[in-house]
Structure 1
Amino acid sequence: MTTTQKSLVVLGAGTAGTMVANKLRHRLSKSDWKITVVDKNDIHDYQPGYLFIPFGMNTPDQIRKSKHAFIHDGIELVLADIDRVDAEAKSVSLTDGRTLTYDYLVIASGTSPRPDQTPGMLGDEWHKSVGEFYTYEGSVALRDALDAFTGGRLVVHITELPFKCPVAPLEFTFLADDYLKGRGLRDRTEIVFVTPLDGAFTKPVASKELGHLLKERGVTVETDFMVENIDQERKVLISYDEREVAYDQLVTIPLNMGADFVARSGLGDDLNYVPVDKHTSQSTQYPEIFALGDASNIPTSKAGSVAHFSVEVFVENFLELVAGKPMTHSFDGHANCFVESGQGKALLLDFNYDTEPLTGTFPIAKIGPMTLLKESRANHVGKLAFRHVYWNVLLPGRPIGLPAQMSMTGKIPADATV
């Protein structure tokens, strides 16, 4: 008797999609399982590197490689745009007319900046006096804009949450302070951080520490600012409550949204993110569909570390599921984020759904070598080194040595007395 080969289709060859395909290719029989990954092009960017390009700390070639180079043998990579998913028929329609059928589907199509969603953001000054660093093209254009900047009002602006790498706007602000000092322009520049939040960050403990660092560097913080439109001619941000923030150079983080095909398929929420069980990444609508990385609506940071840790949990659950067993592993929302703070230092945040960022050492108690919620050179070196880890360990699906679940090892409880 012959066994019909089952099909796993992964939509998206970014961090989560590449990792899950590679890990499962090692764990699933090639005779029993066909794995197909779909993405629109063969370009894979190391997205954390976008932050460094405007300051000349990364060159474009260091962050851009071919997707084919990281997809293991035995996985089919299809380069095409996705039209829609028919969840009832278990099929994916591509815009070139092809149709892929699946037994299980992983949506790992990420999230993207959508400047078109904010009136006035796109215009003649887009990628000029209105810049962004959340795309490859934007980060290169912003490098050129900063090279030409001679002082004035530099405004770093967050449109709305959620967006990928939520610490990146703060990192940009700290690095801009450092960069302008190095060019002798800091005394001639006012830096303003504009956010829809009531503080510097979402987590209160981290927000307090990061807010202190902004104040220390002389950065003005404009909170509770919900942008209604941008007037490029007058060079002002205008909020719904009619406040105005003027700028000479604006660095904005546009509204982020999931892929349009998610909306066309009826699988997403208002921002095109797929509603899933936050512990298993399984769709709340269809048990054979999962969403990983930035494509899902789980209530934690849209960050590479979350993609990594949630994929680890998903792989073990998926193997149980296809073996006819209950899924016994649970993702806890673990996020691990370096925060560049300038002057060759960085902070490190480690938290999950239930636990705020705490102080202490990471990953080894009392030894570190990294410090939590405290600036250090080791954290900065760790962030820079991670690019090598990403290309050579994370994407290929090799073990990285960190547990998927958040550990309290080395952490100092918030109520501890000194």
Structure 2
Amino acid sequence: MNRLVILGAGTAGTMVANKLRKKLSERHWAITIVDRDDEHHYQPGYLFVPFGDYTREDIVRSRRHVLHHGINLVYGEIDVVDPERKLVRLDGGLTLDYDYLVIATGTSPRPDETPGMLGDEWHRSIFDFYSLEGAEALATALERFDHGRLVVQICEMPIKCPVAPLEFTFLADAYLRQRGVRDRVEMLYVTPLDGAFTKPVASEHLGGMLDERKVDVVTDFMIERVDQERKVLVSYDEREVPYDVLVTIPVNMGADYLARSGLGDELNYVPVDKHTLLSTAYDTIFAIGDASNAPASKAGSVAHFEVEIFIDNFLQHVAGEPMTGSFDGHANCFVESGDGKALLIDFNYDTEPLPGKYPLPVVGPMSLLEETRANHLGKLAFRQIYWNVLLPGHPVPLPAHMSMRGKHAPEEAERGSAS
């Protein structure tokens, strides 16, 4: 009997377990998945909680409910992985032996990594929305916030869902306008990047959207500490940004057990081949989704596209054959922009987000780098697709590899308009 152990029953781990359970005989393969509790969170929903659109009931379901029959679900905190002996030890002493290991424990916000961030003002004037508790506390704060300075700030890259801070900023602007208090609120977007986003074309476009909404952008801001007493952010170059309400995206890191196991880098992400997701150190270990150091966005769409490539690769690998699939870093993300609209970006390792139509040229129906109602409805519809299609491992009619069909570079658009 071959033993596959999957660490993490979130998005990537659940999809891997469900898809491989369909492919691998129960007579020959035991599949075990490990997580700390029975709560599976739809994390993209955290974004909507501060504005009263989603509640805990919309976001949380039982992990067991979304796993297929024939998958052994074990609850517990992971203490350490011993890759030489091929075993996982949980807190309390339970050990799980494996022949192959898939690490899918994701990434988490770590406010403790920034001096002064935690303390008396945490979830009072300083908030995150990358946790359900933080998003719920922020909802209460925003309800009563009607004047002052609202600062949205990113500590360090990479972060889970890189567009989420921008989405929050756009939604907060719309929310405050709808309440009739936007003219009494100064909004700042503080980032360690040199622009609004990591990719030039998208950064220029998204930065323009911030300008339109009168959101000041502070770039190249590497936070050194938070001064809670003075309500000030302090950078390493001694710049200061005062706030009344701070919405921070803390440092994101992989799970601590990866450091204890010698499997992680300085941020506890597992070094992998970015195309196959196989560990660079052990040929019996893969890392999927946010847990790896692959230079792709840490986002649900990436996990989905990775898993599509991974499944056949895994079957080839365990059969002693070369892996023929190659993940290209494909990501696509809806970006909520407020007022019932959103835009869509689609990119990979080599190609930045470009304007155009998706998934079909001309007809779309989704527009790339353009605010539309259809994109917003697509974002909302994704929650049902997530629970009922993606997690169960049903086929999704979208290519795992990024396509240039329907896309055009800005200079092509300029040439077309000039001719």
Aligned match for 1:100, one of 82, 96, 99 = 96
The amino acid of 1:325's aligned partner reads E
Deviation at 1:402, TM superposition (A): 0.8
Count of matched residue pairs: 414
1:307 alignment partner in structure 2: 303
Deviation by residue 1:66-100 (Cα, 9 ceiling, x = unmatched): 10101110000000110000000000001121110
Tell me if 1:80 matches 2:57.
no
1:379 alignment partner in structure 2: 375
Aligned match for 1:12, one of 8, 12, 27 = 8
2:152 alignment partner in structure 1: 156
Determine the C-alpha separation between the residues in 2 that align with 1:303 and 1:10.
Answer: 19
Note the residue ranges of structure 2 that are not aligned, 5 or more in a row: none
1:347 alignment partner in structure 2: 343
SS at match of 2:61: strand
SS at match of 2:116: coil
2:135 alignment partner in structure 1: 139
SS at match of 1:49: helix
2:256 alignment partner in structure 1: 260
Aligned match for 2:192, one of 184, 189, 196 = 196
1:329 alignment partner in structure 2: 325
Deviation at 1:322, TM superposition (A): 1.5
1:113 alignment partner in structure 2: 109
2:176 alignment partner in structure 1: 180
Determine the C-alpha separation between the residues in 1 that align with 2:321 and 2:156.
Answer: 40
SS at match of 2:53: coil
Note the residue ranges of structure 1 that are not aligned, 5 or more in a row: none
Aligned match for 2:218, one of 206, 215, 222 = 222
Deviation by residue 1:175-206 (Cα, 9 ceiling, x = unmatched): 00000001111000000000000000001110
Normalised to the residue count of structure 1, the TM-score between the two structures is 0.98
Deviation at 1:413, TM superposition (A): 3.3
Aligned match for 2:52, one of 56, 66, 83 = 56
Determine the C-alpha separation between the residues in 2 that align with 1:388 and 1:15.
Answer: 14
Tell me if 1:235 matches 2:236.
no
The amino acid of 1:11's aligned partner reads L
Aligned match for 1:245, one of 241, 245, 258 = 241
Determine the C-alpha separation between the residues in 2 that align with 1:322 and 1:285.
Answer: 17
Question: Identity of counterpart residues, as a percentage?
Answer: 68
1:169 alignment partner in structure 2: 165
SS at match of 1:174: helix
SS at match of 1:52: helix
Aligned match for 1:400, one of 382, 385, 396 = 396
Aligned match for 2:124, one of 113, 128, 131 = 128
Determine the C-alpha separation between the residues in 2 that align with 1:168 and 1:348.
Answer: 13
Determine the C-alpha separation between the residues in 2 that align with 1:59 and 1:381.
Answer: 19
Deviation at 1:414, TM superposition (A): 4.0
Determine the C-alpha separation between the residues in 2 that align with 1:136 and 1:356.
Answer: 31
SS at match of 2:378: helix
1:410 alignment partner in structure 2: 406
Runs (4 or more) in structure 1 with deviation over 6 Å come to none
Deviation by residue 1:352-378 (Cα, 9 ceiling, x = unmatched): 000011111011110011100111110
Deviation at 1:275, TM superposition (A): 0.2
Determine the C-alpha separation between the residues in 1 that align with 2:320 and 2:289.
Answer: 25
The amino acid of 2:82's aligned partner reads D
Determine the C-alpha separation between the residues in 1 that align with 2:344 and 2:377.
Answer: 12
SS at match of 1:331: coil
SS at match of 1:393: helix
Determine the C-alpha separation between the residues in 1 that align with 2:53 and 2:147.
Answer: 21
Determine the C-alpha separation between the residues in 2 that align with 1:160 and 1:286.
Answer: 29
Determine the C-alpha separation between the residues in 2 that align with 1:171 and 1:415.
Answer: 27
Q: CA RMSD in A?
A: 0.6
Determine the C-alpha separation between the residues in 2 that align with 1:415 and 1:211.
Answer: 19
Determine the C-alpha separation between the residues in 2 that align with 1:48 and 1:29.
Answer: 33
SS at match of 2:202: helix
Determine the C-alpha separation between the residues in 1 that align with 2:215 and 2:290.
Answer: 30
Tell me if 1:366 matches 2:387.
no
SS at match of 1:176: helix
Tell me if 1:69 matches 2:65.
yes
Deviation by residue 1:187-245 (Cα, 9 ceiling, x = unmatched): 00000000000000001110000000000000000000000000111100000000000
Deviation at 1:415, TM superposition (A): 3.7
The amino acid of 1:245's aligned partner reads V
